[in-house]
């Protein structure tokens, strides 16, 4: 079952015609650097298309047997969107991030060859959704494709909150210094809306770090946070969350070694597998 959802003016989930969010019931930050708005269309020649990620290549069956996540709701936010660069009037609009105003979103970063972060995020999210549904989870995504604009960062948090997610993950890739490598887990700092989930988010972040390190082989970041963990108070997705949530920078698109991994289907599948395992560990208490 696939249900398209959106955010109504009163802040409630309502049926919508556009690709704002998707809830799938299975049986079985902005980055450090961003492309300027209005720049040339991003290249996706080295990336699998949104269609191929779900129809021609499937993740390897590495999820636990049975349906350990039956009855659970998992939120996934693939950061940015593939056409954000086409509409500066929307993307540059100011929104409240829980502490201050900032822009609705950015275009995200990209590799030197033009492979976009937005495409990477969406591919991993699709693989992760398949894995989680195979475990019986209901999956809520903040966007259904990589060919749109938005939704804004505050709306993304609201979508996952209103869906009643048991846990949520924001998927990104960073645009850090070219000499820097590795993944980082960004975790919330108490600011009011997220107070009740800061501790559980920290537990979830530990699960994500352990799983990502062991499954993908990507090292922890050499430049962001401490030992792969960074506490952030400037990200709407973390400031506004009312469910346990972390943001993962899966690697540095500006680093040639990381970039060579990030653009490949095997790495994207392994990233999804790692996140699925961390989510299962967190929700079931299994180690």
Tokens of 213: 């390190």
- Rounded distance between C-alpha atoms, residue 99 and residue 189, angstroms: 11
C-alpha distances in Å from residue 201, one per residue of 206, 208, 239: 9, 10, 12
- Rounded distance between C-alpha atoms, residue 213 and residue 83, angstroms: 31
Q: Which phi-psi region, left, alpha or beta, contains residue 65 (left: φ > 0; alpha: ψ -120 to 50)?
A: beta
Is 249 a catalytic site residue?
yes
As a whole number of Å, the end-to-end CA separation of the chain is 31
Q: Which residues lie below 8 Å from residue 56, measured CB to CB, with a gap of 6+?
A: 48
153 touches 245 (CB < 8 A): no
By three-state DSSP, how is residue 85 classified? helix
Which one from 102, 110, 117, 249 is the annotated catalytic residue? Answer: 249
User: Distance of alpha carbon 140 from its chain centroid, rounded?
Assistant: 11
174 touches 249 (CB < 8 A): yes
The DSSP element (H or E) to which 262 belongs, if any, is helix 256-262
- Rounded distance between C-alpha atoms, residue 188 and residue 243, angstroms: 11
Catalytic residues, by residue number, are 249
């Amino acid at each position: 079952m696939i249900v398209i959802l959106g955010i109504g003016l009163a802040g409630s989930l309502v049926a919508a015609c556009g690709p704002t969010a998707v809830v799938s019931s299975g049986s079985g930050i902005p980055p450090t650097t961003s492309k300027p708005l209005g720049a040339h269309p991003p290249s996706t020649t080295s990336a699998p298309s949104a269609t191929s990620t779900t129809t021609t290549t499937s993740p390897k069956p590495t999820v636990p047997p049975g349906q350990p996540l039956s009855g659970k709701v998992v939120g996934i936010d693939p950061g940015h969107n593939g056409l954000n660069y086409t509409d500066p009037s929307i993307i540059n609009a100011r929104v409240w991030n829980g502490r201050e105003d900032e822009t609705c979103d950015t275009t995200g970063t990209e590799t030197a060859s033009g492979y976009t972060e937005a495409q990477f995020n969406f591919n991993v999210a699709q693989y992760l959704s398949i894995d989680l549904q195979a475990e019986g989870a209901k999956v809520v995504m903040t966007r259904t494709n990589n060919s749109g604009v938005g939704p804004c960062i505050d709306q993304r948090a609201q979508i996952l909150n209103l869906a009643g997610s048991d846990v949520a993950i924001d998927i990104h890739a960073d645009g850090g210094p070219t000499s820097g490598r590795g993944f980082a887990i960004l975790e919330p700092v108490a600011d009011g809306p997220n107070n009740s989930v800061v501790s559980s988010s920290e537990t979830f972040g530990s699960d994500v770090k352990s799983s990502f390190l062991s499954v993908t082989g990507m090292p922890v970041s050499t430049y962001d946070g401490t030992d792969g963990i960074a506490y952030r108070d400037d990200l709407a997705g973390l400031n506004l969350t009312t469910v346990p949530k972390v943001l993962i920078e899966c690697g540095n698109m500006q680093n040639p070694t990381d970039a060579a991994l990030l653009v490949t289907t095997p790495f994207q599948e392994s990233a999804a597998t790692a996140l699925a395992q961390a989510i299962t560990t967190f929700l079931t208490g299994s180690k």
